[in-house]
């Protein structure tokens, strides 16, 4: 049987302007239609959306107008042969979300966060996709005593339930990240996300999106995080990228810091036949600030090329030799087998 082929996805924020916390944009903004054209050219089929990527200025639009605009976006995607992968409520940029949304200490902000999430469900339904991604960006603290973690966990669960009820055909993929922009996030790992989902009103509809860099920031191995979610049938998307140790979230090209770690992630996806599930492989990668505008999509092309090369490495892995090493408990020989395979010698 032929191996299933992977479907790739990208978000408009992955073709950025090069601004960082210490400097302004260095490249002109890329018009949304040009992002879509770049996606097509690079062989990406899926588009990932924040709610206001799909419907700009949605805070100032009526629910009916939001749905009409999302439908127009759906048509635009259709015309280019693209499909929407997910919608993520962008709670962390609005003034109401300054201290988090679902776990804000301000009850008005908490109400706003739930209402905004319901609008995201409307956007996803009108676009024709069934995944809501929750990156709980500011759902945490920088001053530990500023929120009650017991109460916050209940609030997060209530938010998940509210979204599940608002969108009976939606699934929620939680994208945990342990820090940044907050010091300590309340859902730092896949274990936390799945435990919370299991307590929800409809656990079958709560899974995860795993970002490599986020797992590394939590001191964990992304391939093991993936394995944990895959074993539970809960890996509904990935944001592959790389991260050079415990720093800010770098969103480096997939494999750029740790090629073997990238191989292990591809291998676990291959072993689980992830491609056959139809779920997307997304690359949450950032163009370097030094990159000139005309080549500011190279990071996406490289990430995809590295991924595909590692798929080949995984499919040609000397499995029989590895099994012999394991049977003999000769892990030094296994180490060498892996390294030589990756080095091509």
Q: Are 36 and 80 within 8 A, CB to CB?
A: yes
Determine contact, residues 170/134, Cβ cutoff 8 Å: no
The answer to the question of residue 74 lying near ligand XUL (CB under 6 A) is: no
Q: Based on the shown chain and the rule CB under 5 A, indicate whether residue 90 belongs to the binding site for Mn ion.
A: no
Residue 88 as a binder of ligand XUL (CB under 6 A): the answer is yes
Whose Cβ is closer to Mn ion: residue 166's or residue 194's? 194
Paired tokens of 337? 């087998």
**Which is closer to ligand XUL, CB of 90 or CB of 147?**
90
Catalytic site includes residue 53: yes
Indicate which of Mn ion, ligand XUL, none lies near residue 249 (CB less than 5 to 8 Å, by partner kind): ligand XUL
Pattern 123-162, ligand XUL, x by CB under 6 A = ------------x---------------------------
Letters for 281-320 (x = contact with ligand XUL by CB under 6 A, - = none) are ---x------------------------------------
Least Cα distance to 101 among 182, 197, 178 occurs for 182
Is residue 341 annotated as a catalytic residue, yes or no?
no
- Catalytic-role residue among 52, 53, 242, 284: 53
Q: Which residue in the list 50, 96, 192, 214 is annotated as catalytic?
A: 50
Q: Which of residues 172-231 bind Mn ion (CB under 5 A)?
A: 211
With contacts defined by CB under 6 A, how many residues of the chain interact with ligand XUL?
A: 10
Is the distance from CB of 47 to CB of 11 less than 8 angstroms?
yes
Per the listing, tokens 């990228």 go with: 241
Identify which range of 13-21, 197-205, 239-247, 319-327 contacts Mn ion by CB under 5 A. 239-247
Q: Which residues lie near ligand XUL (CB under 6 A)?
A: 13, 50, 88, 135, 175, 177, 211, 239, 249, 284
Q: Which residues lie near Mn ion (CB under 5 A)?
A: 211, 239, 284
Residues annotated as part of the active site? 50, 53
């Amino acid at each position: 049987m032929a191996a299933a082929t992977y479907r790739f996805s990208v978000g408009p924020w992955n073709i950025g302007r090069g601004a960082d916390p210490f400097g302004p944009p260095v490249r002109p903004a890329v018009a949304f239609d040009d992002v879509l054209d770049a996606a097509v050219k690079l062989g990406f089929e899926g588009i990932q959306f924040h709610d206001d990527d799909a419907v700009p200025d949605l805070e100032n639009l009526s629910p009916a107008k939001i749905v009409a605009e999302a439908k127009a976006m759906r048509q635009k995607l259709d015309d280019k042969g693209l499909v929407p992968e997910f919608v993520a409520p962008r709670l962390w940029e609005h003034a109401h979300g300054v201290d988090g949304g679902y776990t804000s200490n301000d009850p008005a902000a908490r109400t706003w966060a739930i209402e905004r999430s319901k609008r995201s469900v409307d956007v996803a339904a009108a676009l024709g996709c069934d995944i809501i991604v929750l990156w709980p960006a500011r759902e945490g603290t920088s001053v530990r005593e500023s929120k009650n973690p017991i109460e916050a966990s209940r609030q997060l669960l209530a938010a998940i339930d509210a979204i599940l009820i608002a969108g009976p055909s939606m699934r929620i993929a939680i994208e945990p990240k342990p820090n940044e922009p907050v010091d300590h996030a309340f859902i730092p790992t896949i274990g936390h996300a799945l435990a919370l989902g299991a307590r929800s009103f409809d656990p079958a509809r709560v899974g995860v999106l795993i970002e490599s860099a986020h797992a590394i920031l939590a001191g964990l191995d992304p391939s093991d995080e993936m394995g944990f979610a895959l074993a539970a049938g809960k890996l509904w998307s990935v944001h592959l990228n790389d991260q050079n140790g415990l720093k800010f979230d770098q969103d480096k090209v997939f494999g750029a810091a740790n090629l073997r770690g990238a191989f292990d992630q591809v291998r676990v996806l291959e072993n689980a036949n992830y491609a056959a599930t139809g779920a997307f492989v997304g690359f949450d990668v950032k163009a370097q600030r030094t990159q000139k505008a005309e080549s500011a999509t190279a990071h996406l092309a490289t990430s995809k090329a590295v991924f595909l090369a590692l798929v080949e490495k995984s499919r040609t892995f000397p499995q029989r030799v590895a099994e012999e090493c394991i049977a003999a408990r000769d892990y030094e020989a296994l180490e060498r087998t892996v390294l030589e395979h990756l080095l091509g010698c």
